Amino acid sequence: MAPSGRAAKSSKKRKRPVDVPAPESEMEKGKEDKVEEKQKRKKGRGAGILTDKLFSDLPISDLTARAISEMNYTHLTEIQAKSIPHLMSQSDVMGAAKTGSGKTLAFLIPAVELLYRLGFSPSNGTGVIVICPTRELAIQTHDVAKKLMKYHSQTLGCVTGGTNMKPDVEQLAKGINLLVATPGRLLDHLQNTKNFKRQGKEILFQLGCACLIIDEADRILEKNFEEGMKQIFKRLPWDRQTVLFSATQTQEVKEFAKLGQGKDRKLIHVEVDETMATVEGLEQGYCVVSSEKREEEKKIMVFFSSCNSVKFHTQHLNALKIECCEIHGQIKQQKRNSTLSSFCGADKGILLCTNVAARGLDIPGVDYVVQYDPPDEPKDYIHRVGRTARGDKGEGRALFFLLPEELKLLIYLKAANISMKEYELSKKDEQELQPYLENIVHGNYFLKQSATEAYKSYILAYNSHSLKDIFDIHQLDLKKVAASFGFRDPPKVYLGLDSSASKHRNKKKVHGSKRHGIGPSNPYGRNGGSRRFARF
């Protein structure tokens, strides 16, 4: 992998306002200066996502306020300022906010306060359920809730798929007041775990559930959990509070919100300014590189299109004595959790991943998000770059590589309010680097096998791209693609694709014949009398 181009980072120190006596004639100018200074302070905190509203002004318990203070939060983000008042009054809310805007705290603070006000205890069972589409997001949401509930007596738990159900059952038997769960595991417990079906004496709710929160609702629909969610809705009381949050809003999400809402309850829509699709503190750019040219102490995430590509590049970098870690769908859940935890706690490092890490995960301090393989859609781009410039720091850089024939993708991104500038890669030592990388691959049998699988997966992923007018498999220079995986010549792999399509796409069809040459004048195909039979 060749070093990527980086833009120079610039920062300006914020000047503190100085109070000086002003003549009465300058009162007008003084007011204007205060407004301007207020805007500067707002811009300086969190790159524009923070407001001038304080957590200390919220009507919340001292226990919650103390926990928030220890989490070093002072000002509310826009989505928090707009949604928390409605949620505190137990209204049904559908929140739309870009990733990294603070929506997790937006729904957790009212949830914790609800349990506190109702006086929930373990004997009352579950009062709030938070549903997350992935195990990683559920674990991170649980971790945030744990900090928020530090001084509360209410109980907290997390149940996700891919783990043994026995510990879950034991937790639920003791009583979990705030439960974070993935859809499949939650439905399993609702259907089969008797101790979960508990009704509190003081609380007039079946199961004790007063509030259902669905995070990343659009992702839940994308993963085809809709039928399972319908079953969950049926098993929860209709007079509950229902909350949905999502980074993107579609008609399907809106219909899904209505489906999960109780009767005779009004749904309040809360949105933030979406004139920019990504947060203001994110500097974005792209590099145009040919396939064979793709390869300081920073915290970097690199996205690939397939698990095999992640595995190969991890092994390749390790062979170059560059330490990095990996997350993808073929890694066991326990290993993914430990890797994610280590990367979150690190000040520097490289994480190679697939889209499994693109949504919802709050990974602090990411300096660069590099998209080695371009996203399938603009919304995927937004979710990927949302791993940097998060929270009140609000600074980061996003970079993605494009082949020259893929530049049309920029039109789609611009239509989604994503603007960026082009960075040029340094050409120094390019001619020396490629042979060096090829020697490493060819000198290691296992690395060569990994490169072959990655090469195959890359082409298959490219062929499955939804934007066929941009990502045309027949326009790929396979020799250069192979070079990017350390091959001098494309390896022989079976792809199951029509390899003749590229060769013949520009040729005019002969009347009465087809690409394979079979027609009235030649019933056996191009090879004349040598018959070919298909096996079915």
Q: Are 155 and 291 members of one domain? A: no
Q: Are 320 and 267 members of one domain? A: no
Q: Which of 196, 198, 191 is nearest to 234 (CA)?
A: 191
Q: Are 439 and 471 members of one domain? A: yes
Report if residue 16 sits inside a domain.
no
Q: Which of 82, 103, 90, 80 is nearest to 241 (CA)?
A: 90
CA dist list (Å): 220 to 92, 206, 216, 389: 19, 25, 7, 24
Average pLDDT, the chain: 76
**Position 86 pLDDT exceeds 50:** yes
Q: Are 244 and 328 members of one domain? A: no
What pLDDT score was predicted for residue 378?
67
Range from 176-185, 419-428, 503-512 carrying the lowest mean pLDDT? 503-512
Q: Which of 224, 240, 279 is nearest to 417 (CA)?
A: 279
| Mean pLDDT computed over 303-330 | 89
What pLDDT score was predicted for residue 361?
66
Report if residue 21 sits inside a domain.
no
What pLDDT score was predicted for residue 255?
85
Band of pLDDT at residue 163, cut at 50, 70 and 90? confident
What pLDDT score was predicted for residue 291?
54
Helices (H) and strands (E) counted in the chain, each on its own, are: 18, 16
Band of pLDDT at residue 389, cut at 50, 70 and 90? low
| Mean pLDDT computed over 363-389 | 74
Contact 372, 401 (CB under 8 A): yes
Q: Taking each helix axis from N to C terminus, what angle separates 165-174 and 183-192, rounded to the nearest 10 degrees?
A: 60
Residues 6 or more apart in contact with residue 255 via CB below 8 angstroms: none
CA distance 348 to 343: 8
> How many other CB atoms are there within 10 angstroms of residue 331's CB atom?
17
**Position 59 pLDDT exceeds 90:** yes
Q: Are 311 and 237 members of one domain? A: no
* Structural domain harbouring 80: 46-271
Contact 294, 2 (CB under 8 A): yes
Report if residue 111 sits inside a domain.
yes
**Position 288 pLDDT exceeds 70:** no
CA distance 463 to 471: 7
| Mean pLDDT computed over 104-117 | 95
- Boundary residue ending a domain (254, 271, 288): 271
CA dist list (Å): 392 to 99, 137, 210, 217: 13, 20, 31, 24
Residues 6 or more apart in contact with residue 301 via CB below 8 angstroms: 350, 351, 353, 357, 363, 366, 368, 369, 370, 387, 388
521-524: Cβ within 8 A, 24+ apart: none
Q: How many domains does the chain have?
A: 2
Tell me the per-residue pLDDT of 437-451, one tens digit each, with 9 for 90 and over. Answer: 888 888 888 889 999
CA distance 247 to 99: 6
Furthest-apart CA pair in the chain: how many Å?
Answer: 104
Q: Which residue has 């027609």 as its token pair?
A: 519
What pLDDT score was predicted for residue 102?
85
Highest mean pLDDT range out of 254-258, 287-291, 517-521?
254-258
- Boundary residue ending a domain (271, 304, 322): 271
Residues 6 or more apart in contact with residue 129 via CB below 8 angstroms: 179, 181, 186, 209, 211, 212, 213, 236
Q: Are 254 and 168 members of one domain? A: yes
Report if residue 510 sits inside a domain.
no
Contact 497, 473 (CB under 8 A): yes
Sign for the pseudo-dihedral over CA of 233, 237, 95, 158: negative
Tell me the per-residue pLDDT of 324-356, one tens digit each, with 9 for 90 and over. Answer: 999 888 888 888 888 888 888 888 899 998 877
Q: Are 177 and 137 members of one domain? A: yes
Report if residue 354 sits inside a domain.
yes
DSSP string, 431-471: HHHHHHHHHHHHT-HHHHHHHHHHHHHHHHHHHT-S-TTTS
Tell me the per-residue pLDDT of 199-218, one tens digit each, with 9 for 90 and over. Answer: 433 333 434 578 999 998 88
Percent above pLDDT 90 for the chain? 24
What pLDDT score was predicted for residue 65?
96
Q: Are 332 and 206 members of one domain? A: no
In this predicted model, which residue has the larger pLDDT, 375 or 109? 109
Band of pLDDT at residue 88, cut at 50, 70 and 90? very high
Report if residue 174 sits inside a domain.
yes
**Position 191 pLDDT exceeds 80:** yes
CA distance 136 to 67: 23
What pLDDT score was predicted for residue 160?
92
In this predicted model, which residue has the larger pLDDT, 138 or 410? 138
Range from 50-59, 235-244, 256-265, 286-295 carrying the lowest mean pLDDT? 286-295
The CATH code of the domain that includes 423 is 3.40.50.300
Spell out the alpha helix ranges (H) of 357-429.
378-385, 409-415
CA dist list (Å): 360 to 3, 220, 235: 28, 12, 27
**Position 473 pLDDT exceeds 90:** no
SS3 call for 513: coil
Report if residue 516 sits inside a domain.
no
What pLDDT score was predicted for residue 296?
57
Residue 258 tokens, joined: 């209505």
Q: Are 250 and 299 members of one domain? A: no
What pLDDT score was predicted for residue 522?
44
Q: Are 82 and 194 members of one domain? A: yes
Q: Are 400 and 267 members of one domain? A: no
Report if residue 482 sits inside a domain.
yes
In this predicted model, which residue has the larger pLDDT, 200 or 273? 273
What pLDDT score was predicted for residue 309?
92
Highest mean pLDDT range out of 170-174, 238-242, 309-313?
309-313
**Position 58 pLDDT exceeds 90:** yes
What pLDDT score was predicted for residue 249?
75
Band of pLDDT at residue 462, cut at 50, 70 and 90? confident
Highest mean pLDDT range out of 27-31, 48-52, 167-171, 285-289?
167-171
**Position 429 pLDDT exceeds 50:** yes
**Position 535 pLDDT exceeds 80:** no
Q: Are 63 and 162 members of one domain? A: yes
Range from 33-37, 108-112, 175-179 carrying the lowest mean pLDDT? 33-37
Residue 90 tokens, joined: 């137990």
**Position 502 pLDDT exceeds 70:** no
**Position 384 pLDDT exceeds 80:** no
- Boundary residue ending a domain (271, 292, 325): 271
In this predicted model, which residue has the larger pLDDT, 181 or 35? 181
